[in-house]
Structure 1
Amino acid sequence: MNITARISQAPMSGYQWLIIALCTFMNCLDGFDVMAVAFTGPSVTEEFGLTGSQFGLLVSIGLVGMAGGSMLLAPFADLIGRRPLILISLTLGTIGMFGAAMAPSVTVMGIFRLVTGVGVGGILASTNVIASEFSNAKNRGLAIGLYTAGYGIGATVASLVAKTMVGGDWRIVFYAGGFGTLLALVVVAVLLPESIAFLEQKRSSGALARINRTLTRMRMKAVTDADLDHAAATRETKRADSGWLKQRIPPTILLWIIFITIMFGFYFVNSWTPTLLVEEGLSEGAAVTAGTAISIGGTVGSVLYGVVARMRTPRVVLIWFSLLAAAMMVVFIVSASTLWLGFGIGVVVGALINGCIAGAYTVGPPLYPANVRSVGMGWALGMGRIGAILSPTIAGMLKDAGASATQLYVGAAVVVAVCALVLVGLRRYDPESSPAAKDALAG
């Protein structure tokens, strides 16, 4: 049995949960980064004299950077290691945050927003894989749920910092983000180990000692060179099988569709809800309250998904989350005119759609062997960001064409429901849907 399989079946140690906490901390940077631009938007627009489209471009360029970082930097994690790429990405994020804070013009700020996005994209592609690789089968969904909840925590921190700066200097928000990213860089450099799966694959100089040092901290038995030789021989036998690479293409395409549909729904709900509710007759304050309800539910939903995924196959849990999210999106827009009801259902929508994000992060990594896992997830995340970019754009075009808020929400719900159909087709490729994996989960 290779080390990855041993980790998957053994109980999780406190050290493994510490690694999950570090990954969650780094995912907070994504939430802070995205919402920092949103919360400082009025001040940035006023200082640089931006039009609506110019500010929209400033927001989008960060998402473009994230997509590029996920797709272009992720392959290096499978070449140089997860840990080095995370450190490089954190460095880029630190530079980008401080650069945006000191930008003398919107052009310079846009450049640094792009740099920040590339860094965050690289971080997400690597930390998702690290969190998955250091989790056992039973707790993988919970670990990824906690990791995903970091987005909501970071967004909340960004909102608190921005609120204290109302009427003050918007640049302080980006300085705060810069110092937070720098802190993450220092903490990760000291505490985060290299992925055991990567070390087992590459077997560079000193790999055995590094593996055993990490296994000791995880309270697991050390391995020998003979163990690594046997695991390597098993992997080579599998790779020698005809068409092993071609077999990765169908699940990869299905995973891309899963990420695109979920990210489409997630960014539609989070970006358009307040605006559409105002047009439906609610006051601006009431619309913001409903939007806040979605954010509140989001942090809870990621953890909720993880708890349920401890008892059922993660892929099956994600099917139900996506179907329920689609249904509750329709219920939400129909009932939002009643504030208390809209708030309550908004919490449920936020919980379900964020749970879907956690689910996508959970079902993806097991589809790939360790030597291509980062690039597989990096490209999936990049494709998901394309869905995130398309979502507000398509919604805006349809709105200009006369679509109502209800029609837009129903359309987005249909896109999310498509995810469930794709997940049914993923079953034959999902190793965690096998009888052996189900037995491990039940144990």
Structure 2
Amino acid sequence: MTKLQETLALKPMNAFQIAAIFMCVLLNIVDGFDILVMAFTAQHVSSEWGLSASELGGLFSAGIIGIAIGSMVIAPQADKVGRRTIILLCLVISGIGMTLSSLSESAFQLGALRALTGLGVGGLLTCSNIIASEYASQKWKGLAVTILASGVALGATFGGMLAIVLIENFGWRSVFLFGGISTFVMIPLVVGLLPESLDFLLTRQPKDSLARVNKLARRLDLEQVSLLPQRPTKTSPKPKSLFAGLVEGKWLKTSVCIWLAFFMTMFTFYFVMSWTPKLLATSGLSAKEGITGGLLLSAGGIIGSAAIGLLSARFTIVQVLASFMGLNAVLMFSFAFFSSVSSLAFLIGFFLGFTVYACMGGLYAAVAILYEPGLRATALGFATGIGRAGGILSPLIAGILIDWQFKSQTLFMLYGCAMVLGCIAVLTANRHSHAGSSISSNPSETAANS
């Protein structure tokens, strides 16, 4: 870690840092809308095309497949060409996917376009989390990354409210069109307001990096430098690939446990966020009440994402994360018994969203703190990509089980057990974390370990 990075990690946050993080939150608000637009339109899409539950589950999973590929293939390129460059590329991809989705004429076309949209969303989610983490001071890294999860929840909440109005007046296709336009609007904002990562410039040292580093240093209230740090020599040990760096030596056990935690958490998250509105409607509530239940999940997520970030400034992120995962499992079991009673379903649903979004944000924060800058985007990209495999399987399995006449109560209990396994994986990852890289938000501890 260079002197610039050490100073940035320990000094109080200034307006420029806060603005960069806020820009990442805006990106995640758009992503939140793009991710969950299928959940809000599911009832109407299913009715228009006469889809079975398993076919509808396939549409849910198509977007997540794209997100997984985007996380594992596109996002790691940010360690080579820059976080900001990949963000701009992904905005173009997801904007095209959302806009064309409004013109789809079959479930197959919509599924293909949901996958295309997911490619952009996967890269965006990873890179925005990385930039937010790298511009936050060490004390507030956990809060910065988890606030981004609240951005996803905000996008889902306002998107759901807007979806009700748009669908009633213009039909379900208008929801996708609005998402596409909103995504394209973000491109000039990123060009004008989002800086490249200081960590990337110092580590990779692209063309004109010294001038760019000093320009950022002025805006970050840091001392300017006359020389960049020496890059690793050819004799320095290097992994054969970025992925190899995640599974060699000290990283192996931690990486495997983190991957399992992401898999189980996303397995639960995408079931809850994709199927809850539909399951509430089939449990005796109206389609509008089902969307309202989905909105309450997202509303709870806004607060939960911020809460885990604030708590991580006082306690280690893994302690807080494990607690939220355990609480989420309890709420899943509770929701199984009260989903047909609107008042109780809405109340439990709010806190269910509170915990499930917090768990997602907490995992992103844990990975962003754990890995060194040269591997950070790759580590988070592979963790989210592997996690998305759980997200892909989740709605598909739920759709198949529904077609097999499984009750919603049984489904919520099964998916609650998955979160229990995720909690165990997080605790195991912490136990195997190599000395000096504990998932902590304590700035003095982390600086000493660096």
TM-score by length of 2: 0.87
* Residues in 2 aligned to 1:356 and 1:287: alpha-carbon distance in whole angstroms: 23
Post-superposition CA distance 1:79-131 (Å, at most 9, x none): 11111111111111122222223445554444333221111111112111111
Unaligned runs of 5+ in 1: none
> What letter matches 1:433 in structure 2?
S
1:9 correspondence with 2:13: no
SS at match of 2:139: coil
Q: 1:74 to 1:358 in 2, by over 3 A?
A: same
Moved more, 405-414 or 315-324: 405-414
Counterpart code for 1:385: R
Seen in structure 2, the aligned counterparts of structure 1 residues 189 and 395 have a Cα distance that, compared at 3 Å, is same
Residue 433 of structure 1 corresponds to which residue in structure 2? 438
Distance 1:138 1:374 in 2: 20
Question: Is 1:359 aligned with 2:331?
Answer: no
Change (3 A) 1:408 1:434: closer
The residue that corresponds to 2:198 in the other structure is 196
Structure 2 stretches of 5 or more lacking a match? none
Residue 16 of structure 1 aligns to which amino acid in structure 2? Q
How much has 1:71 moved relative to structure 2? Answer: 0.9
- Compute the displacement of 1:39 (Å): 2.7
1:57-206 to 2 correspondences below 5 Å:
57-103=58-104, 106-165=107-166, 166-206=168-208
The equivalent of 2:218 in structure 1 is: 216
Q: Contact (CA 8 Å) 1:248, 1:368: kept in 2 or not?
A: no
> Is the CA contact 1:311–1:441 (under 8 Å) kept in the aligned structure 2?
no
CA contact (8 A) 1:69 1:120 kept: yes
Give the match for residue 207 of structure 1.
Answer: 209
Matches within 5 A, 1:186-265: 186-225=188-227, 228-229=229-230, 232=231, 245-265=248-268
Shift of 1:328: 2.2
For 2:303 and 2:350, the matched residues in 1 are separated by: 9
Name which of 329, 335, 345 aligns with 1:326.
329
Q: Measure how far apart 1:285 and its partner are.
A: 6.0
Flag the 1:149–1:77 CA change in 2: closer, same or farther, 3 A. same
Match of 1:378 among 378, 381, 394: 381
Q: Distance in 2 between matches of 1:127 and 1:57?
A: 27
1:413 Cα deviation after fit: 1.6
Q: Residues 179-225 of structure 1: CA distance to partner in whole angstroms, max 9, x if unpaired?
A: 21111111101111111111111122211111121121111222331
> TM-score when scaled to structure 1?
0.89
Query: Which residue, out of 410, 413, 416, partners 1:410?
Result: 413
Please state if 1:24 is matched with 2:39.
no
The structure-2 alpha-carbon separation of the partners of 1:36 and 1:408, relative to structure 1 and needing over 3 Å to count, comes to closer
**2: CA distance, partners of 1:419 / 1:332:** 19
> Contact 1:298 / 1:352 at 8 angstroms: preserved in 2?
yes
Instruction: Tell me the CA shift for residue 159 of structure 1.
Output: 2.1
Aligned-partner residue type, residue 36 of structure 1: V
Given that 1:313 and 1:432 are in contact with CA atoms closer than 8 Å, whether structure 2 keeps it comes out as no
Q: 1:392: how far off?
A: 2.3
Preserved contact between residue 139 and residue 442 of structure 2 (Cα < 8 Å): no
Give secondary structure in 1 for the equivalent of 2:157.
helix
8 Å contact from structure 2 (residues 82, 200) kept in 1: yes
Are the equivalent residues in 1 in contact too, given 2:60–2:274 (CA < 8 A)?
no
- The alignment partner of 1:433 has SS state of coil
What is aligned with 2:352?
349
Taking a change above 3 Å as real, the CA distance of residues 42 and 424 of structure 1, as seen in their structure-2 partners, is: closer
- Residue type at the aligned position of 2:331: M
CA distance in 1: counterparts of 2:205 and 2:308, whole angstroms? 35
2:138–2:443 CA contact under 8 A, matched in 1: no
> What is the alpha-carbon distance in structure 2 between the residues aligned to residue 99 and residue 148 of structure 1?
26
Two-structure CA RMSD over aligned residues (Å):
3.0
Counterpart CA distance in 1 for 2:347 and 2:440 is 38
Contact 1:89-1:122 within 8 A present in 2 as well: yes
Partners in 2 of 1:355 and 1:419 — Cα distance? 13
2:427 aligned residue (420, 424, 427) = 424
User: Counterpart amino acid of 2:257?
Assistant: L
Shift of 1:18: 1.0
Q: Given that residues 57 and 399 in structure 2 are in contact (C-alpha distance below 8 angstroms), is that contact kept between their aligned partners in structure 1?
A: no
Indicate conservation of the 8 Å contact 2:265/2:360, yes or no.
yes
Name the CA distance, whole Å, in 2 between partners of 1:79 and 1:352: 34
Matches within 5 A, 1:259-408: 259-277=262-280, 288-336=291-339, 338-401=341-404, 403-408=406-411
User: Using the alignment, how far apart are the partners of 1:422 and 1:235 within structure 2?
Assistant: 37
Q: 1:333 to 1:56 in 2, by over 3 A?
A: closer
Distance in 2 between residues matched to 1:348 and 1:9, nearest whole Å: 34
CA distance 1:236–1:194, change in 2 (3 Å): farther
Q: Distance in 1 between matches of 2:292 and 2:396?
A: 24
SS in structure 1 opposite 2:225?
Answer: coil
Alpha-carbon deviation of 1:59?
Answer: 3.2
Letter in 2 for 1:312: F
Shift of 1:65: 1.0
Contact kept? 2:261, 2:426, Cα under 8 Å: yes
What do the CA deviations read for 1:40-71 (whole angstroms, capped 9, x no partner)?
34554566665655444333222111111111
Q: Which amino acid aligns with 2:438?
A: S
Q: What secondary structure, in the 3-state scheme, does the structure 1 residue paired with 2:271 have? A: helix
Query: Counterparts of 1:218 and 1:360 in 2: how far apart (Å)?
Result: 27
User: 1:35, 1:76 → 2: CA distance?
Assistant: 26
Going from structure 1 to structure 2, the CA distance change for 1:12 and 1:289 (only over 3 Å counts) comes to same
